[in-house]
Amino acid sequence: MIYYYTSFSSPIGRIYALKTEKGLKLLTFSKNELESQLHKLKIKNGKLKNNKTPFLNLKKELLDYFSGKKVNFSEKLDFSSGTEFQKKVWKEMRKIPYGQKKSYKWLAQRVGDFKKARAVGNACGSNPFGIIIPCHRVVKEDRGLGGYSGGLWIKKKLLELEAKT
């Protein structure tokens, strides 16, 4: 299997992406997270290619998103790195509409148990598809920001961007 990766500039800094023919494996704001994923996958020499071409549509959609457009991301996602619970949370999180915020408790109820808000928070923190699966739209019950693996300043910036449109 060949792995493709790239990075590009955005209004919130560099974005790093990794994909295979199965789909996008990672979209992150952290070079360290990309390197950690590559290490976990134990990719052998010759199986990793720095190539922007497989990411042209994703980059266009992200640029549209950052310009304030509501984007239905078309990128095929490879969920193979998640547990069954994480996949359930990520798929439900993806349904949160642009510009809306939902609580960890609300999301826990949607996946079957409002008492699992902390587990939902952990699944949000493990989300490998920043922006596409909008974990930035998940906040605390009291409307506080909660956490964000990309950094709270990025979460705040994404929520402000979506509030403008």
Which residues are designated catalytic? Answer: 135
The C-alpha atoms of residue 101 and residue 135 are separated, in whole angstroms, by: 10
Q: Determine the length of the chain.
A: 165
CA atoms within 13 A on the CB side of 129: 25
Single-letter code of the amino acid located at 160? E
Helices (H) and strands (E) in the chain, counts: 6, 6
Closest CA to 13 of 26, 30, 38: 30
With vertex at residue 64, the alpha carbon angle to CA 159 and CA 149, rounded to the nearest 5 degrees, is 40
* Rg of the chain on CA atoms, in Å: 16
